[in-house]
Amino acid sequence: MGMVGAYMRVSAEELTGLLHEPDGFGELVEDEGRQTDIDKAWHGLYFLLTGETDLDDIDRHSLGKVVFGGDVLDEEAGIAYLTPEEVADLSARLQYIELDALEARYDVTTMNEQQLYPFESEWGLEEKQYLFEQFDELKRVFKQAADENGALVTWIG
């Protein structure tokens, strides 16, 4: 199946509860109606948004937060979160990014040399379209959460 980038919309109150009791995430995650994912596009989107390929030094201070979240809720499980304020800011920033800008950053040579997940050395034209479709989903989930004044919990799993 592979590793999928997942997002769950939570209220500010639920996020506060998770910060006090991170184990409560197990109950929340059962509500699949508030979840969405960007399939296996997370590494490619991270590259298009940040220009970075190295996952050993994830940039949580820029658009990299869109993919990996901000502060870490559970290091071992790889669960991070974005506050309602961060969601609103990032959602606004995402809405201004045009596909032309992402297309200009789509560098097959670098992506294949760096073996970005999941296609490793097989990135091509079809995969570019796949990333663009997943980017639209990313914009949608951030806008929905921002419209609800909500937070997001993120994980790769």
* pLDDT, mean of residues 110-133: 93
pLDDT in tens, 25-83: 888 888 899 999 999 999 999 999 999 998 887 766 689 999 999 999 998 888 999 99
Residue % of the chain over a pLDDT of 90: 79
Domains of the chain: 5-156 (3.40.1760.10)
* pLDDT, mean of residues 100-117: 95
Alpha-carbon gap, residue 81 to 102, rounded angstroms: 25
CA-CA-CA-CA dihedral for 132, 144, 118, 121, to nearest 10? 30
Residue 87 has pLDDT above 90, yes or no: yes
Query: Would you state the pLDDT for residue 9?
Result: 97
pTM higher than 0.85: yes
11-15: Cβ within 8 A, 24+ apart: 11/148, 11/150, 11/151, 12/83, 12/84, 12/149, 12/150, 12/151, 14/151, 15/81, 15/83, 15/84, 15/151, 15/153
Residue 70's nearest CA partner among 84, 80, 85 is: 80
2 Cβ contact partners less than 8 Å away, ≥ 6 residues apart: 40, 118
